[in-house]
């Protein structure tokens, strides 16, 4: 099953049924490698300022109605402390591409967390940077980096992004990160505007070449304050099929059941786990900023304290038939 042809992939992607058989196959593969373990990552959304203008995203620079915020270093450290106490051993610092956070500031934050929590993984998700910047963060103590490629087809990439951005630069960043020694996460949105089945096949082929440790996918979800306000959201079913395909093609991979998946269906994340996902990434950001990290509409967990999410997730993961583990959760290649 690992060597599916394009034709076979297209057939699976285009099926219109709720593909229980495919999900079970993926689940069997995940259990072989990871048992029932679900890894958790504490997400700290530390700035929603962004200089980019991606057409799909609610915190794009062009959204003048977005209320912007930045967390201070102290706030980030206190989120980490709270997370550590709740059992998190991976912190994901995610933000828009915010020029306020210079390399020196990022390195300072990373090295402070590194010093306090030598047993934890530090993941950055702060967009496209120079190779030197990536190297500096790595030397300061960051181990992992998440940067979705969004779509591996040039023409499609250009329909989702303004001309100031390019797929070539995005790919260059991902290969730089890998060469520097990061554990790399990439991924794409499912059902993004203008996406074709062939685009999805190209995404899978690109990922085979990159061979990332983590692959994050979630449905595209409409946001009113973007140029794509009238474009429909991606579906639960197609997202689940793509998760299952990823598990089958990348048995080793860390596959999150994403917040976006939980946002289009009340049991989206549970269904994602049952279709092959093995990671969840609850939010550790202070509740006062939760609603403001507004990438898409109807985002879940925006009113819940970190501790509440932790308890809620424990139950959800258990109900789905799996178990949260609290170690770092490195990839099992
Ligand atoms: N719907 C779903 N996902 C989105 N992202 C950005 N905007 C949206 C949206 N409207 C995703 C992108 C990005 C990640 C941080 O969030 O894939 O890489
Ligand atoms: Fe956040 Fe359920 S996981 S409230």
Residue 1: pLDDT over 70: no
The response to whether residue 170 sits with its C-beta less than 6 Å from ligand 1 reads no
Q: pLDDT-derived band of residue 16, with 50, 70 and 90 as boundaries?
A: confident
How far is the C-alpha of 84 from the C-alpha of 162, rounded, in Å? 39
Number of the ligand 2 atom closest to the C-alpha atom of 304: 4
Question: How many angstroms separate the alpha carbon of residue 46 from the centre of ligand 1?
Answer: 16
Q: What is the pLDDT of residues 142-181, one digit of tens each?
A: 999 999 999 999 999 999 999 999 999 999 999 999 999 9
Does residue 57 have its Cβ closer than 6 Å to ligand 1? yes
- pLDDT of 175 reads 98
CA of 121 to the centre of ligand 2 (A): 22
Segment 273-284, tens digit of pLDDT:
999 999 999 999
| Residues 224-263: tens digit of each pLDDT | 999 999 999 999 999 999 999 999 999 999 999 999 999 9
305 Cβ neighbours under 8 A, 6+ residues apart: 287
pLDDT (tens digit per residue) in 34-47: 999 999 999 999 99
Question: What architecture is the 6-325 domain classified under in CATH?
Answer: Alpha-Beta Barrel (3.20)
User: Mean pLDDT of all residues in the chain?
Assistant: 97
> Are the C-beta atoms of residues 103 and 123 closer than 8 Å to each other?
no
> What are 167-221's pLDDT values in tens digits?
999 999 999 999 999 999 999 999 999 999 999 999 999 999 999 999 999 999 9
C-beta of residue 140 within 8 angstroms of C-beta of residue 110: yes
Beta carbon of 213 within 6 Å of any ligand 1 atom: no
Q: What does the pLDDT average to over 115-129?
A: 98
pLDDT value at position 2?
Answer: 76
pLDDT of residue 298: 95
């Amino acid at each position: 099953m690992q060597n599916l042809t394009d034709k076979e992939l297209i057939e699976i992607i285009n099926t219109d049924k709720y593909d229980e058989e495919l999900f079970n196959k993926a689940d069997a593969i995940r259990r072989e490698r990871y048992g029932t373990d679900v890894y958790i990552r504490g997400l700290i959304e530390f700035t929603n300022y962004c200089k980019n203008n991606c057409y799909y995203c609610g915190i794009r620079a062009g959204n003048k109605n977005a209320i912007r915020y930045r967390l201070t270093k102290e706030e980030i450290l206190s989120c980490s402390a709270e997370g550590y106490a709740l059992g998190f051993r991976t912190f994901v610092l995610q933000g828009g591409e915010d020029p306020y956070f210079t390399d020196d500031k990022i390195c300072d934050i990373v090295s402070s967390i590194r010093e306090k929590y030598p047993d934890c993984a530090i993941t950055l998700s702060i967009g496209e940077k120079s190779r030197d910047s990536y190297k500096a963060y790595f030397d300061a103590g960051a181990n992992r980096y998440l940067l979705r490629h969004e779509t591996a087809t040039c023409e499609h990439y250009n329909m989702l992004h303004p001309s100031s951005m390019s797929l070539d630069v995005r790919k260059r960043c991902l290969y730089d990160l890998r060469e520097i020694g990061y554990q790399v996460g990439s991924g794409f949105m499912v059902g993004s505007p203008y996406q074709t089945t062939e685009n999805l096949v190209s995404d899978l082929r690109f990922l085979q070449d990159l061979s990332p440790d983590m692959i994050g996918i979630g449905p595209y979800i409409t946001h009113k304050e973007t140029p794509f306000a009238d474009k429909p959201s991606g579906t639960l079913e197609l997202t689940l099929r793509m998760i299952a395909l990823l598990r089958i093609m990348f048995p080793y991979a860390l596959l999150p059941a994403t917040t976006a998946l939980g946002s289009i269906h009340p049991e989206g994340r549970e269904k994602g786990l049952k279709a092959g996902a093995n990671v969840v990434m609850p939010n550790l950001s202070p509740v006062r900023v939760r609603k403001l990290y507004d990438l898409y509409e109807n985002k879940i967990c925006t009113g819940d304290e970190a501790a509440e999410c932790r308890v809620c997730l424990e139950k959800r993961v258990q109900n789905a038939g799996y178990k949260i583990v609290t170690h770092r959760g490195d990839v099992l290649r």
